Chains A and B, each alone.
Chain A
Amino acid sequence: MNYKRLTVITGYFGSGKTEISINYAIQLKKTEDKVALVDLDIVNPYFRSREQREFLRKDYGIKVVCTEEEYMNADIPALSPEIYGVLQDKNWNTVVDLGGDDVGATALGMFSKYFRDESYEMIFVVNINRPFTSTKDGIIRRIKAIERSSRLNVTHLVNNTHLSYETTVDDVLKGQMVTDEVSRETGLPIKFISGRRDILEKLPEDIEADLFPIDLFMKPPWR
């Protein structure tokens, strides 16, 4: 997999960007020594990558940079000063989980200068089964909104179309058609199709895209 030192994963809530961020960091850790996952989600109160920080540190040696533990549920948009470290120190390979649509993307704006100094990848995650991103135009509108508030440019698309635990191969294929349309209109390449392993295995072999199977971490308490 090609990657840059700095990767931002963005998209509207329900796109699956947190799952992809975690899986992406785990993938990077296979080849890189120092991998950090920055939880920049200042919007969502539940299902955030910071909930996996202990597990990711112990089992994978990934550093999760998030609001300090005592403030984790403080319901304020607090960011950790450690973020500057993993963005500036070129020894770190850093994945930013940018939560909560264009409002959430505002949080990245203050760090945008570190991204202008070197090339980065900013991946927009598409799920066409969500109300506001079901069409090409809806998706492009959201990409532009996120670019405006983060002051960065989206560089890649990912098709992660899903319906939570009820996803079918058909969902992924429909998502791919729409993501293709977005790609043709914007010129943004599709980095990969992501989804649960058992679903991606069932995709037709002639599909023209890299596949990125993911394991799920953000589960409701009865799963």
Chain B
Amino acid sequence: MARILMKGNEALGEAAIKAGAKFYFGYPITPQNEVSAYMAERLPEVGGVFLQAESEVSAINMVYGAGGAGARVLITSSSPGISLMQEGISYIAGAEIPAVIVNVMRGGPGLGGIQPGQADYFQATRGGGHGDYFMVVLAPESIQEMVDIMQEAFDIADQYRNPVMILADGMMGQMMEAVDLDNVEKSDRNLPPKTWATTGMAHHQGKNIINSLELDPAKLEKHNLDLKKKYDEMAKNEVKYEMYKCDDADIIAVAYGTTARIVKNTIDMASREGIKMGLIRPISLWPFPQEPFDRTADRAKAYISVEMSMGQMVEDVRLAVNGRKPVHFYGRTGGMIPEPKDILAEIKNILGGVK
């Protein structure tokens, strides 16, 4: 098939099917409803199951069940809905169940609004639910990358027996772009067989029990230490980023998703005015990439985190820069989108101050 035009939300669904997902559970919320509409039509065609749950709480627990039985399962929602799912996500992490969760973020807090946002960064990268856990969080900047990342997300989930989150925003979900769904690169990961899956006594020796309850503190601590080893492996192996025009940049912006696209546009504007600006685009938000900061900290005069939030990723940028250079912030929030000219004005401000 040639390239076709797809809405981000539809592409999420089709990419998951291409990655082998047979189950999708969800509950409607704007701006990601097209995923449900698409899956309702497509999943039955591939022998899968689409089910609209009675709430996000039940939807995420259906994911626990399907993932626990060893199936590839997708769930999507938007900010308030993802908040409702946090208990289930913590259980899924505790019980070590692979699943892919997509948050098509909108403006918050609370019910907020339906326009795009990036203010769930803390929630996504710091666990979100209770207890010591992490998940790999991936942030695509285009529909094609969203499709490619979906395959990767399922592989990562299966490799570590851990939930993976794709952090998109309303603009990524609603916009349309040309995509190629047929040439998605398959990873060469050696995925372990799911001998732990609860598929019934006919399929394995002894009982397979999936549970996140452990009342013996010594055993629970041991479980946490084992999980920690897994998170360390994820942190070591799953870093992804793009460096854009960083080589001789005086100022380096840090941005992901929709905001990264806007910053790339800003970089072109800046270069027309003789300003050397670059972009570090974390594709994995957790683990947060350290290397591009180590490679640029000598040369760059300053960094600026650009977000659709009041300043969340900027904390990780500060940790990565570690005092070597000043770290600034520019953000719009509540569904407002940063404009290149305003980002550029801020950049000029900063560079004026540096000189």
Residues of B within 8 A of A73 (CB): 113-115, 335
B115 pairs with A46, CB closer than 8 A: yes
Please pick, from A75, A129, A162, A166, the residue contacting B30 in the complex, using a CB distance under 8 A.
A75
Cα–Cα distance between A44 and B170 once the two chains are bound (Å):
11
A130 pairs with B335, CB closer than 8 A: no
The contact string, 1 if C-beta is below 8 Å from chain A, for chain B 257-290, is 0100110110000000000000000000000000
Near A by CB (< 8 A), chain B positions 1-36 give: 3-7, 10, 14, 30-31
B175 pairs with A127, CB closer than 8 A: no
Residue of A nearest to B32 (CB): A45
Residue of A nearest to B338 (CB): A221
- Size bin of chain B's contact surface: 20 to 34
Cα–Cα distance between A32 and B177 once the two chains are bound (Å):
35
> How far, in Å, is A163 (CB) from chain B's closest CB?
5
Chain A interface, number of residues (Cβ within 8 angstroms) = 21
Secondary structure of the A contact surface, majority rule? loop
Cα–Cα distance between A47 and B170 once the two chains are bound (Å):
11
B30 pairs with A45, CB closer than 8 A: yes
Task: Tell me if A11 is interfacial: C-beta within 8 Å of chain B.
Answer: no
Please pick, from A44, A75, A164, the residue contacting B5 in the complex, using a CB distance under 8 A.
A164
Please pick, from A13, A75, A134, A166, the residue contacting B178 in the complex, using a CB distance under 8 A.
A166
Task: Tell me if A220 is interfacial: C-beta within 8 Å of chain B.
Answer: yes
The contact string, 1 if C-beta is below 8 Å from chain B, for chain A 153-176, is 000000000111010000000000
Task: Tell me if B337 is interfacial: C-beta within 8 Å of chain A.
Answer: yes
Task: Tell me if A195 is interfacial: C-beta within 8 Å of chain B.
Answer: no
Residue of B nearest to A129 (CB): B5
Residues of A within 8 A of B338 (CB): 221
Residue of A nearest to B176 (CB): A14
A222 pairs with B261, CB closer than 8 A: yes
Cα–Cα distance between A14 and B115 once the two chains are bound (Å):
19
> How far, in Å, is A200 (CB) from chain B's closest CB?
18
B262 pairs with A45, CB closer than 8 A: no
Interface centre among B113, B171, B178, B339, by most chain A C-beta atoms within 10 angstroms, is: B178
Please pick, from B3, B6, B31, B264, the residue contacting A45 in the complex, using a CB distance under 8 A.
B31
Residue of A nearest to B262 (CB): A222
> How far, in Å, is B304 (CB) from chain A's closest CB?
17
> How far, in Å, is B222 (CB) from chain A's closest CB?
47
Cα–Cα distance between A50 and B347 once the two chains are bound (Å):
33
Residues of A within 8 A of B31 (CB): 45-46
Residue of A nearest to B173 (CB): A46
Cα–Cα distance between A13 and B7 once the two chains are bound (Å):
9
Residues of B within 8 A of A45 (CB): 30-31, 114-115, 170, 174
A46 pairs with B10, CB closer than 8 A: no
> How far, in Å, is A172 (CB) from chain B's closest CB?
13
Task: Tell me if B140 is interfacial: C-beta within 8 Å of chain A.
Answer: no
> How far, in Å, is A176 (CB) from chain B's closest CB?
16
The contact string, 1 if C-beta is below 8 Å from chain A, for chain B 168-201, is 0011001111100000000000000000000000
Residues of A within 8 A of B174 (CB): 44-47
Task: Tell me if A204 is interfacial: C-beta within 8 Å of chain B.
Answer: no
Task: Tell me if B340 is interfacial: C-beta within 8 Å of chain A.
Answer: yes
With A75-B114, A164-B176, A221-B337 given, is the CB distance from A131 to B6 under 8 Å?
yes
Cα–Cα distance between A130 and B176 once the two chains are bound (Å):
10
Residue of B nearest to A161 (CB): B5
Residues of B within 8 A of A221 (CB): 171, 258, 261-262, 337-339
Cα–Cα distance between A127 and B7 once the two chains are bound (Å):
14
A130 pairs with B262, CB closer than 8 A: no
A222 pairs with B264, CB closer than 8 A: yes
With A45-B30, A221-B258 given, is the CB distance from A163 to B6 under 8 Å?
no
> How far, in Å, is B111 (CB) from chain A's closest CB?
9
> How far, in Å, is B342 (CB) from chain A's closest CB?
11
Interface centre among B175, B258, B338, B339, by most chain A C-beta atoms within 10 angstroms, is: B175
Cα–Cα distance between A75 and B33 once the two chains are bound (Å):
12
> How far, in Å, is A102 (CB) from chain B's closest CB?
11
| Chain A residues within CB distance 8 Å of chain B | 13-14, 44-47, 73, 75, 127, 129-131, 134, 162-164, 166, 220-223
| Chain B residues within CB distance 8 Å of chain A | 3-7, 10, 14, 30-31, 113-115, 170-171, 174-178, 258, 261-262, 264-265, 335, 337-340
Provide 5 A-B residue pairs closer than 8 Å at the C-beta atoms, listed in order of the A residue.
Answer: A73-B335, A129-B5, A130-B5, A130-B6, A221-B339
Q: Top 6 closest A-B pairs, CB basis?
A: A46-B174, A222-B265, A222-B261, A129-B5, A163-B178, A221-B337
